[in-house]
Amino acid sequence: MICVKVNVDRPVQFLAAGEFVSDSSWTHSSRTMNNYELIIGAEGTVYIEESGERFEVGPGDILMLMPGRVHGGYQPSEPGVRFYWMHMEFESGAVLIDEEELKRELEEVYSHANRSWSVRDLYVPQFMKDGLQDRMSVIIKQILHVANAGYYTYQSVNYLLTSLLIEISETIMGRVSRRGDLKGDMHFTKIAEWTRIHATDTITVADIAARFNYNRDYLTRLFKQHTGKGPLEYIQTVRMEKAKELLSRTSHTVKEISAMCGFQDDKYFMRLFRLHVNMTPSQFRNAYHKTFMNNT
């Protein structure tokens, strides 16, 4: 795995962004760019080759195309293919590092007791399968809206794009550190991941405790220690992130989204959403709606 390492003491420079969709069979044109392009798969598969290396970008996959390299499609995508694209520059420059170098740098980070806010660089993988997290989808919508809504503030979209890259960086850092057993309590990682996956089911704290054979009080202390939240609050947070992602990405009704996120009572869902997000689901959906779309 190759990563783009870039310092973000200053925000990334946004150039352009949009959502690509094609109703017919489509192949990416061959070209060379003088900036970085981030591609995030939404529907179908995009087949892109860069300097002889081939990538299949499916839903949730993330690909960073490098400047000065020839890239293009190596086979047609099926009708209905859809992805987000963003062009950017790094004023402070960027370097390419491999996974072993990334591990060494993360080992240095995790060797310090106070790790929070200690990393000044981003690590954006050239290609990451299933890298898109629910919270990223919301930021993508914000980027596309601000980029096309005529904001007056100079750095507005630059900071949003930087926030998206931070989320991508945190995701790959977490994956690499878990593979290298750097974070210590690996068992809690399994508990948290299982809880995240099943959060939209009708699970309870008792279900989690039974699944991992833990006392409920001890399980609550584990969650508090590692996340700062109790297990129920953690479940609600995951559900809210999923709800925001569905509100920004789909046309499902609020009642349908409520059920998809594990709520049997849509009125309770709306009250909880307003408590967490400080706006109603409909207000959130309408907040970022301007998007540049292209099909060529």
**What are the sequence ranges of the domains in the chain?**
2-181, 186-287
Count H helices, E strands: the chain? 10, 13
Q: What is the pLDDT of residue 183?
A: 46
For the question of whether the overall pTM of this predicted structure is more than 0.75, the answer is: no
DSSP category for residue 229: S
- Residue in 23, 128, 28 with CA at minimum distance from that of residue 75: 28
Q: What is the DSSP letter of 76?
A: P
pLDDT at residue number 112:
61
Terminal alpha carbon distance of the chain: 30
Please tell me the CATH superfamily of domain 186-287, with its number.
Homeodomain-like (1.10.10.60)
* pLDDT attached to residue 180: 47
Residue 33 exposed, middle or buried by CB count within 10 Å (0-12, 13-18, 19+): middle
Mean pLDDT by 10 residues, the chain (296 residues): 89 92 92 94 93 92 94 93 93 86 80 66 90 83 87 89 92 70 61 87 86 85 83 89 86 91 90 89 80 65
Q: In the CATH hierarchy, which top-level class contains the domain 2-181?
A: mainly beta
Give residue 124's pLDDT: 92
Angle at Cα 194 formed by Cα 188 and Cα 195, nearest 5°?
90
